[in-house]
């Protein structure tokens, strides 16, 4: 019987088919699996045939129906392993297959593919230009360095003609993916040794591990190379697995991990807390989920907390985890998936009793306003609530003495002792009011939960491992709680986040909270979600100022961050009035739906509830189904998602419209502390405003539409 392996390109082809066509693909493949190799060659229905004049002599096609063909590689190494590489219409299948060559990289030993015909056509053209160019992109690096990174002869010839990153990109989809990635990172300024460690060595390690596991990895044979190329190729072991792959929702992330993702997620153990960063869409959540799987598989009775910032994200983590763990109830029962605040609430309820009512942002503001008026203070409520958040709660200060003696880290305004006493008076009044009304802020609950767990070791929930997603917005009070939830030691905390998506003004120094990730940091750079066009446009929204990393002790950068996907340029449009803008958004959504995008794959968002509400009403009036994104709407609900920007965090859609990006909304003056009041706060507030827009725009996978009426936000002009 033949063995089957499928590549990510094949799977993507399947994903583009409608249900009946998928069923026909399944039928053809199931038949393929059942026949012997000689029967396969003789079967008239499947019609296994070579591709005439193909660059790769192993290239074959089989027939799915009158229109559809599967492209596959036939074994030439004595094995019976067939690699399914594409599924597409008849004509496209043949032209695709003719041009491509699969080879085994002599450095990484992985199977890779290139459009050899196109590379051979383009290289001489670039070479002519290169002869007259003052500078060649890869001139600083010798052939030896490039070869060491897995760049082979054909790619090397091409690379030596490249004068700019734009030209390199033109080659991007033609050359082998791993070689392009190495060249791109070099062009972005990364050190060759770092690239070797992150891209080449990890692949080689996989090879060694598999040899140790007794798999045949010797030689450059197809079957051996396939087992080594786990980031792009999966072996299908039997009919059940085939059915599973072809009938489940497309979720390549369950199977195909980038080598860096795999290295991070499946590293046997970390000696202490580990941190993973990366730009939007680089698969941080995917890595967190695989890490949970690894931790569960490693020991039969470990308990894991998988936690994040908002309820919507926790729900989405829960359903993805169920998918990854094949809905296995025994495994799922060992993981708590919930927000940090919900854990805190549970601890307090369990160890002390119901903590009372949680305060919303508006309530908290009103209470600070009352305090300010009552004590006739010279500061406004924003200043006081920030002082409370960034100094008192951040340092867990419990008395006036502690506050008087503290260093007000991260604050850009000086306060003398007399002023501090007045602030403390305000804090006492604020907290007293809350206690009287049996109310609390969420951060207070986190602080109390931490104290309770410290005072009563062994009581309350505890976990062997805590995995945190979207960690960039966590406050020190939340970090302290996470610190006590898993005992200090190997694999205690696994933290993923993106400092460029910080929208809630969280400033932490993890080290000062007893969480040191030194030597245990990883970075992801390949975006799997959005097109390069969307990423580039969205990056233009960010400031050039460096951003504090997750630890708070260094800076984070998006160097080397990129997508392999390409698509239309984002559209940014101004309108004469809010009404006209609303009409344009409805038209845009209608166009997306007419092009075949399901309503639930479209999101329309605005900064404020009022505009989001109006847009939702307009869409509904135009007969378009609408689902308001609040807490708890089922994933299966049909309709265009209408949301505020803040609620878009961590989610993704094929098409996204961001409306109301006006001068007065971005930056929103009340959200930005004046520089004269607090210089540091002013800078972080402005950065958070930019990040908010960046986060919303990077939720788009294929299409992004940004609009405003009247004057455009200054962020768009940049």
Ligand X SMILES: Nc1ncnc2c1ncn2[C@@H]1O[C@H](COP(=O)(O)OP(=O)(O)OP(=O)(O)O)[C@@H](O)[C@H]1O
Report the 10 Å Cβ neighbour count for 622.
Answer: 15
Handedness of CA 539, 540, 544, 548 (dihedral sign): negative
Known binding residue 229? Answer is no
b/e sequence 581-598, b meaning 16+ C-beta within 10 Å: bbebbbebbeebbeeebe
CA distances (Å), origin 663, targets 154, 241, 247, 667, 689: 51, 54, 48, 7, 12
Q: Which of residues 32-61 bind ligand X (CB under 6 A)?
A: none
Known binding residue 540? Answer is no
The DSSP output letter for 553 is S
Known binding residue 280? Answer is yes
Residue 309 found at the interface with ligand X (CB under 6 A): no
Handedness of CA 493, 497, 502, 503 (dihedral sign): negative
Stretch that binds ligand X, among 92-100, 256-264, 559-567, 614-622 (CB under 6 A): 256-264
Residue 116 found at the interface with ligand X (CB under 6 A): no
CA distances (Å), origin 369, targets 105, 403, 414, 442: 66, 21, 22, 19
Beta bridge partners, 307, equal 338, 468
Integer Cα distance of 318 and 322 in angstroms: 6
Closest CB to ligand X among 10 and 253? 253
Closest CB to ligand X among 99 and 701? 701
Residue 252 found at the interface with ligand X (CB under 6 A): yes
Stretch that binds ligand X, among 50-58, 249-257, 295-303, 356-364 (CB under 6 A): 249-257
Residue 284 found at the interface with ligand X (CB under 6 A): yes
Beta bridge partners, 82, equal 4
Residue 652 found at the interface with ligand X (CB under 6 A): yes
CA distances (Å), origin 284, targets 253, 264, 338, 525, 554: 11, 10, 17, 10, 20
- The CA-based angle 475-476-479, given to 5 degrees, is 95
Minimum Å distance from CB 240 to ligand X?
23
Closest CB to ligand X among 182 and 426? 182
Residue 446 found at the interface with ligand X (CB under 6 A): no
Minimum Å distance from CB 498 to ligand X?
5
Residue 358 found at the interface with ligand X (CB under 6 A): no
Integer Cα distance of 616 and 618 in angstroms: 5
Place of tokens 């402005």: 686
Minimum Å distance from CB 255 to ligand X?
8
Residue 10 found at the interface with ligand X (CB under 6 A): no
Closest CB to ligand X among 476 and 650? 650
From the list 528, 561, 708, 715, which residue makes contact with ligand X (rule: CB under 6 A)?
528
CA distances (Å), origin 6, targets 14, 255, 331: 11, 11, 27
Tokens encoding 68: 């559809």
Residue 259 found at the interface with ligand X (CB under 6 A): no
Per-position DSSP letters for 159-224, written without gaps between them: HTT--SHHHHHHHHTTS-HHHHHHHHHHHTT--HHHHIIIIIIHHHHHHHHHHHTT----SS-HHH
Q: Which residues contact 23 (CB under 8 A, 6 or more apart)?
A: none
Closest CB to ligand X among 281 and 355? 281
- Reference 608, options 644, 647, 648, 649; nearest CA is 644
Residue 561 found at the interface with ligand X (CB under 6 A): no
Residue 280 found at the interface with ligand X (CB under 6 A): yes
Which H or E element spans position 469? none
- Reference 449, options 419, 402, 416, 483; nearest CA is 483
Known binding residue 279? Answer is yes
From the list 171, 253, 270, 442, which residue makes contact with ligand X (rule: CB under 6 A)?
253
Residue 283 found at the interface with ligand X (CB under 6 A): yes
Minimum Å distance from CB 354 to ligand X?
33
From the list 150, 273, 278, 570, which residue makes contact with ligand X (rule: CB under 6 A)?
278
Helix, strand, coil abundance in the chain, percent, nearest 5: 45, 15, 35
- Interaction pattern, residues 209-248, with ligand X; x per rule: CB under 6 A: ----------------------------------------
CB of 115 within 8 A of CB of 174? yes
Minimum Å distance from CB 249 to ligand X?
11
Closest CB to ligand X among 258 and 390? 258
Cis before 64? omega within 30: no
Report the 10 Å Cβ neighbour count for 396.
Answer: 14
Closest CB to ligand X among 221 and 250? 250
Stretch that binds ligand X, among 238-246, 255-263, 363-371, 438-446 (CB under 6 A): 255-263
Closest CB to ligand X among 159 and 324? 324
Residue 281 found at the interface with ligand X (CB under 6 A): yes
Stretch that binds ligand X, among 204-212, 280-288, 473-481, 602-610 (CB under 6 A): 280-288
Residue 257 found at the interface with ligand X (CB under 6 A): yes
Closest CB to ligand X among 171 and 528? 528
From the list 82, 126, 184, 256, which residue makes contact with ligand X (rule: CB under 6 A)?
256
Residue 653 found at the interface with ligand X (CB under 6 A): no
Minimum Å distance from CB 643 to ligand X?
15
Q: Which residues contact 133 (CB under 8 A, 6 or more apart)?
A: 163
Stretch that binds ligand X, among 283-291, 343-351, 374-382, 551-559 (CB under 6 A): 283-291
**CB neighbour class for 207 (10 Å; exposed up to 12, middle 13-18, buried from 19):** buried
Closest CB to ligand X among 102 and 253? 253
Q: How many residues bind ligand X (CB under 6 A)?
A: 21
CB of 540 within 8 A of CB of 551? no
Closest CB to ligand X among 264 and 627? 264
From the list 150, 499, 616, 650, which residue makes contact with ligand X (rule: CB under 6 A)?
650
CB of 562 within 8 A of CB of 181? no
- Reference 28, options 12, 13, 47, 15; nearest CA is 47
- Reference 11, options 285, 289, 247; nearest CA is 247
Known binding residue 31? Answer is no
User: Looking at 503-559, which runs of residues are DSSP E strands?
Assistant: 521-524, 526-527, 547-548, 555-556
Q: Which of residues 496-515 bind ligand X (CB under 6 A)?
A: 498, 501
Known binding residue 710? Answer is no
Closest CB to ligand X among 9 and 385? 9
Half-sphere exposure of 6 (CA within 13 A, CB side): 24
Minimum Å distance from CB 340 to ligand X?
17
Residue 7 found at the interface with ligand X (CB under 6 A): no
Closest CB to ligand X among 122 and 255? 255
Stretch that binds ligand X, among 146-154, 282-290, 512-520, 667-675 (CB under 6 A): 282-290
Closest CB to ligand X among 86 and 529? 529
Minimum Å distance from CB 501 to ligand X?
6
Minimum Å distance from CB 111 to ligand X?
17
Residue 681 found at the interface with ligand X (CB under 6 A): no
Place of tokens 């098409």: 655
- Reference 472, options 325, 309, 316; nearest CA is 309
Annotated binding-site residues for ATP read 278-285
Residue ranges in contact with ligand X by CB under 6 A: 252-253, 256-258, 261, 278, 280-286, 498, 501, 528-529, 650, 652, 698
Binding residues: 278-285
């Amino acid at each position: 019987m033949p063995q089957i392996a499928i590549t990510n390109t094949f799977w993507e082809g399947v994903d583009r088919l409608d249900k009946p066509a998928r069923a026909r693909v399944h039928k053809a493949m199931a038949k393929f699996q059942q026949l012997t190799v000689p029967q396969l060659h003789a079967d008239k229905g499947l019609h296994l045939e070579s591709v005439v004049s193909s660059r790769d002599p192993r290239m074959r096609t089989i027939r799915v129906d009158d229109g559809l063909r599967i492209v596959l590689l036939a074994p030439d190494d004595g094995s019976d392993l067939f690699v399914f590489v594409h599924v597409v219409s008849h004509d496209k299948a043949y032209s695709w297959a003719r041009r491509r060559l699969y080879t085994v990289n002599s450095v990484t030993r992985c199977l890779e593919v290139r459009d050899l015909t196109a590379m051979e056509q383009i290289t001489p053209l670039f070479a002519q230009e290169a002869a007259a160019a003052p500078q060649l992109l890869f001139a600083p690096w010798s052939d030896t360095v490039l070869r060491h990174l897995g760049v082979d002869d054909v790619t090397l010839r091409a690379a030596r003609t490249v004068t700019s990153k734009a030209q390199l990109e033109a080659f991007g989809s033609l050359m082998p993916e791993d070689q392009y990635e190495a060249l791109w990172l070099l062009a972005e300024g990364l050190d060759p040794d770092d690239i070797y460690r992150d891209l080449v060595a990890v692949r080689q390690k996989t090879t060694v591990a598999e040899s140790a596991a007794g798999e045949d990895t010797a030689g450059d044979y197809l079957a051996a190379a396939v087992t080594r190329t786990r980031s792009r190729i999966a072996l299908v072991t039997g009919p059940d697995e085939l059915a599973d792959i072809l009938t489940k929702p497309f979720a390549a992330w369950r199977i195909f991990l980038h080598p860096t993702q795999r290295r991070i997620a499946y590293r046997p153990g970390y000696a202490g807390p580990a941190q993973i960063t990366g730009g939007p869409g680089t698969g941080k959540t995917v890595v967190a989920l695989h890490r949970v799987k690894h931790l569960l598989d490693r020991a039969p009775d470990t308990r894991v907390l998988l936690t994040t910032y908002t309820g919507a994200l926790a729900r989405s983590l829960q359903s993805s985890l169920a998918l990854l763990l094949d809905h296995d109830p025994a495994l799922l029962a060992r993981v708590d998936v919930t927000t940090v605040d919900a854990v805190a609430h549970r601890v307090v309820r369990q160890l002390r009793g119901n903590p009372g009512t949680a305060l919303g942002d508006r309530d908290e503001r009103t209470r600070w306003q009352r305090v300010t008026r009552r004590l006739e203070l010279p500061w406004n409520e924003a200043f006081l609530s920030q002082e409370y958040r960034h100094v008192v709660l951040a340092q867990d200060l419990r008395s006036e003495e502690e506050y008087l003696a503290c260093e007000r880290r991260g604050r850009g305004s000086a306060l003398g002792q007399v002023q501090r006493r007045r602030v403390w008076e305000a804090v006492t009044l604020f907290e007293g009011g809350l206690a009287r009304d049996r109310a609390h802020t969420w951060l207070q609950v986190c602080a109390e939960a931490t104290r309770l767990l410290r005072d009563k070791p062994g009581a309350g929930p505890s976990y062997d491992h805590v995995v945190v997603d979207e960690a960039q917005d966590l406050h020190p009070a939340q970090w302290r709680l996470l610190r006590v939830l898993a005992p200090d030691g190997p694999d205690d905390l696994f933290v993923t986040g993106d400092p460029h998506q910080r929208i809630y003004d969280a400033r932490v120094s993890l080290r000062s909270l007893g969480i040191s990730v030194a030597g245990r940091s990883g970075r992801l750079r390949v975006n799997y979600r959005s097109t390069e066009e969307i990423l580039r446009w969205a990056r233009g929204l960010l400031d050039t100022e460096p951003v504090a990393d997750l630890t708070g002790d260094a800076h984070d950068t998006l160097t080397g961050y990129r997508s392999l996907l390409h698509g239309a340029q984002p559209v940014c449009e101004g309108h004469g009035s809010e009404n006209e803008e609303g009409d344009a958004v409805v038209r845009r959504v209608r166009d997306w739906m007419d092009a075949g995008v399901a309503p639930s794959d479209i999101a329309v968002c605005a900064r404020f509830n009022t505009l989001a509400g109006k847009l939702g009403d307009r869409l509904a009036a135009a007969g378009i189904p609408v689902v308001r994104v609040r807490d708890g709407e089922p994933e299966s609900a049909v309709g265009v998602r209408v949301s505020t920007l803040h609620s878009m965090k961590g989610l993704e859609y094929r098409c996204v419209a961001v409306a109301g990006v006006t001068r007065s909304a971005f930056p929103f003056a009340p959200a930005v502390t004046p520089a004269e009041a607090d210089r540091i706060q002013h800078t972080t507030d402005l950065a958070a405003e930019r990040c908010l827009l960046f986060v919303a725009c990077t939720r788009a996978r294929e299409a992004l539409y940004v609009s405003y009426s009247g004057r455009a936000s200054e962020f768009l002009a940049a």
